[in-house]
Amino acid sequence: MGTKSKALFDRAQAVIPGGVNSPVRACKSVGCDPLFIERAKGANVYDADGNGYLDYVGSWGPMILGHAPERVNAVLRDAIEKGTSFGAPTELEIDLAELVIDTVKSVDVVRMVNSGTEATMSAIRLARGFTGRDIVIKFDGCYHGHADSFLVAAGSGVATFNIAGSPGVPDDTIKHTLSIPYNDIEKVREVMTKMGDKVACIIVEPIAGNMGFIKPKNDFLKVLREETEKHGALLILDEVMTGFRVALGGAQELFGVTPDLTTMGKVIGGGLPVGAYGGRADIMAQISPCGPVYQAGTLSGNPLAMAAGIETLKAIREPGFYEALTEKTTRLVNGLAGAAGKAGIPHTADTAGSMFGLYFTGMDVANFEDAKTSNLDLFSAYYRRMLEEGVYLAPSQFEAGFVSAAHTDEDIDATIAAATKVLAELAR
């Protein structure tokens, strides 16, 4: 880490908890201090010391077009001139809602919020209000934001720091949350048989990206659809990460599963704070002011955020966008896996669209317990050495990686070359 990043981290730690506004950014689990980013353009981020890095974090998912894309910058400049917040309806909100509904087939009606956490928190409130039931079923290692109900065996930072739950969350709240292993169809059936009539919803990351990267296996999502339908519960696909990322229509398009509700975030805001939840019109009609389930937001539908979201969705809807991105990402992942293979390091790698993961374990990873067999010391060393080689990865084994449209073939080649060098070195 350069001297300026170090000085900024010292300053930050005095005034911000741990020096960061979101825990994984502190890089604790990989044994180094964070880089302070000054600017970013295309596939690159630049730290306060002027070093450039090829970025596979993409602000944890939103930057599918790369950083500061000119077409998004242009609409943002225009939007700023018209005023940054009105707290009143705008045409931009309709434009983004129409684009989302046209892109995500299961969504009839959509409500904009400011983050993925707000989206999932509101969606389970709606599921509970609609069904009149309390129990929420989630899966170990899935992360649905930091609302109280979800901090049970959660992924992302909660997994990175190995936290079982969180102080401050009342037992009375989490007693309504049941967390079971991802991809465990038998367990789902068993639980639904036992208590299906009390279950408001099953919420799931349709591809898990917060315990590394794990695809649903053996019709897992179809079974969730069947079981929820059978017992009168709702199925919520949390596509905050996978939405507009693994395919234009999200993971639900990829796997042919139609949820009752979908939660969205990240790409939908093109790098500005936006979340959204939407789905069946009869369910969404329960939301205030149409119905009794309350949810609101001072900055919801913010004109800058809407403008960035609209322009981003327009860009990703252009023909060939996903084909090119998927091909690049597949080549990257094959290259990373090849590098680990050449070095004789046990590994498992997978990808969907422009999202990917690489575990340092020889086993086929189907759930959080499998993910935890990964060699975390090796991952930390890999992370630090890749950074020295100019590649900026997510600082945790339990996070997914993202490729953007701004990554060039040369960027992918350079990343594979760096991984080949680093992994050969670490295998010695």
* Residue 312 backbone phi and psi in degrees, to 5: -65, -45
Q: Which is nearer to ligand PLP, 166 or 420 (CB)?
A: 166
CB of 188 to ligand PLP, least distance (A): 19
CB of 349 to ligand PLP, least distance (A): 20
Q: Say which of 55, 140, 184, 238 is annotated catalytic.
A: 238
- Decide: is 116 part of the binding site for ligand PLP (CB under 6 A): yes
- Decide: is 156 part of the binding site for ligand PLP (CB under 6 A): yes
Q: Say which of 53, 56, 143, 382 is annotated catalytic.
A: 143
- Decide: is 210 part of the binding site for ligand PLP (CB under 6 A): yes
Q: Which residues contact 400 (CB under 8 A, 6 or more apart)?
A: 209, 210, 212, 213, 241, 355, 356, 357, 394
Reply yes or no on whether 143 is catalytic: yes
216, 212, 157: which is closest to 375 by C-alpha? Answer: 212
Return d(Cα 80, Cα 192) in angstroms, integer.
50
- Decide: is 120 part of the binding site for ligand PLP (CB under 6 A): yes
Q: Which residues contact 341 (CB under 8 A, 6 or more apart)?
A: 347
31, 138, 67, 72: which is closest to 381 by C-alpha? Answer: 31
Count of residues engaged in binding ligand PLP, rule: CB under 6 A = 17
Beta strands in 131-198 (DSSP E): 135-139, 177-180
* Residue 358 backbone phi and psi in degrees, to 5: -140, 115
For the window 211-250, what string marks contact with ligand PLP as x by the rule CB under 6 A? Answer: ---------------------------x-xx---------
Reply yes or no on whether 294 is catalytic: no
CB of 345 to ligand PLP, least distance (A): 27
The torsion of the CA quartet 25, 28, 30, 33, rounded to 10 degrees, works out to: 70
- Decide: is 295 part of the binding site for ligand PLP (CB under 6 A): no
* Residue 286 backbone phi and psi in degrees, to 5: -80, -10
CB of 269 to ligand PLP, least distance (A): 9
281, 286, 221, 292: which is closest to 257 by C-alpha? Answer: 221
Q: Which stretch binds ligand PLP (CB under 6 A): 205-213, 325-333, 339-347, 366-374?
A: 205-213
91, 102, 47: which is closest to 248 by C-alpha? Answer: 102
Q: Which is nearer to ligand PLP, 264 or 345 (CB)?
A: 264
Reply yes or no on whether 33 is catalytic: no
Restricted to residues 75-114, the positions that interact with ligand PLP (CB under 6 A) are: none
Q: Say which of 28, 138, 215, 266 is annotated catalytic.
A: 266
Residue of 42, 58, 145, 335 that binds ligand PLP (CB under 6 A): 145
DSSP string, 333-386: HHHHHHHHHHTT---EEEEETTEEEEES-SSPP-SHHHHTTS-HHHHHHHHHHH
Tell me which residues touch ligand PLP (CB under 6 A). Answer: 60, 115-117, 120, 143-145, 156, 205, 209-210, 238, 240-241, 265, 275
Residues annotated as catalytic (active site), given as ranges: 143, 238, 266
